Amino acid sequence: MMAGHDIVVIGASAGGVEVLSDLVSLLPADFPAAIFVVLHVPAHSPSLLPRILERKGPLPASHAVDGEAIRPGRILIAPPDQHLLLERGQIRLIKGPRENGHRPAIDPLFRSAALAYGPSVVGVVLSGTLDDGSSGLLAIQQRGGTTMVQDPDEALHAGMPRNAIEAVAVDRVLPVAGIADELVRLARDPINDPEGQPLSDKMEQENQLTAFDLDAIEDEDRPGRPSGFSCPDCGGTLWELTEGELIRFRCRVGHAWSANGLVAEQTEGIETALWTALRALEERAALCTRVASRMEERGRNISAARFREQAAESKQQAALLRRVLVIDPTTSDEPGPEPMPGPEIDVPRSGQGASDG
Q: What is the pLDDT of residues 117-127, one digit of tens each?
A: 999 999 999 99
Contact yes or no for 137/294 (Cβ under 8 A):
no
Check whether 47 has a pLDDT greater than 60: yes
Q: Are 254 and 268 within one domain? A: no
Q: Are 274 and 256 within one domain? A: no
Contact yes or no for 20/37 (Cβ under 8 A):
yes
Q: Are 220 and 124 within one domain? A: no
Q: Which of 5, 40, 102, 255 is catalytic?
A: 40
Alpha-helix runs per DSSP H in the chain: 16-25, 49-56, 106-117, 134-142, 159-167, 176-187, 201-210, 214-218, 259-297, 301-325
Would residue 168 count as lying in a domain?
yes
Task: Please count the residues of the chain.
Answer: 357
Would residue 163 count as lying in a domain?
yes
Tens digit of pLDDT for each residue in 210-220?
665 655 555 66
- Percentage of the chain beyond pLDDT 70 is 83
What CATH number is attached to the domain comprising 160? 3.40.50.180
Check whether 353 has a pLDDT greater than 60: no
Tens digit of pLDDT for each residue in 8-43?
999 999 999 999 999 999 999 999 999 999 999 988
3-state secondary structure of 214: helix
Q: Which of 47, 132, 134, 171 is catalytic?
A: 132
Q: Are 290 and 224 within one domain? A: no
User: What is the rounded average pLDDT for all residues in the chain?
Assistant: 85
Q: Which of 13, 112, 127, 135 is catalytic?
A: 13
- Which long-range contacts (C-beta less than 8 Å, at least 24 apart) are formed by 45-51? 45/80, 46/80, 47/77, 47/79, 47/80, 49/17, 49/20, 49/77, 50/75, 50/77
Q: Are 52 and 154 within one domain? A: yes
Closest by Cα among 292, 274, 286, 307 to 355? 286
Q: Are 139 and 251 within one domain? A: no
Backbone φ, ψ for residue 247 (5° rounding): -115, 125
Contact yes or no for 35/20 (Cβ under 8 A):
no
pLDDT of residue 198: 67
Q: What is the pTM of this model?
A: 0.78
CA distance 152 to 176: 11
The domain in which residue 234 lies consists of 214-260
- Which long-range contacts (C-beta less than 8 Å, at least 24 apart) are formed by 314-319? 314/281, 314/282, 314/284, 314/285, 314/288, 315/281, 315/282, 315/285, 317/281, 318/278, 318/281, 318/282, 318/285
Check whether 303 has a pLDDT greater than 60: yes
CA distance 12 to 15: 8
Check whether 336 has a pLDDT greater than 50: no
3-state secondary structure of 94: strand
Q: How much of the chain is in helix, strand and coil states, percent to nearest 5? A: 40, 20, 40
Would residue 356 count as lying in a domain?
no
User: 67: alpha, beta or left, given left = phi > 0 and alpha = psi -120 to 50?
Assistant: left
Q: Are 178 and 315 within one domain? A: no
Q: How many domains does the chain have?
A: 3
Between the CA of residue 357 and those of 276, 284, 289, 352, what are the distances in Å?
Answer: 16, 9, 9, 13
Active site residue 40: yes
Greater confidence, 208 or 73? 73
Which of 222, 243, 260 is the C-terminal boundary of a domain?
Answer: 260
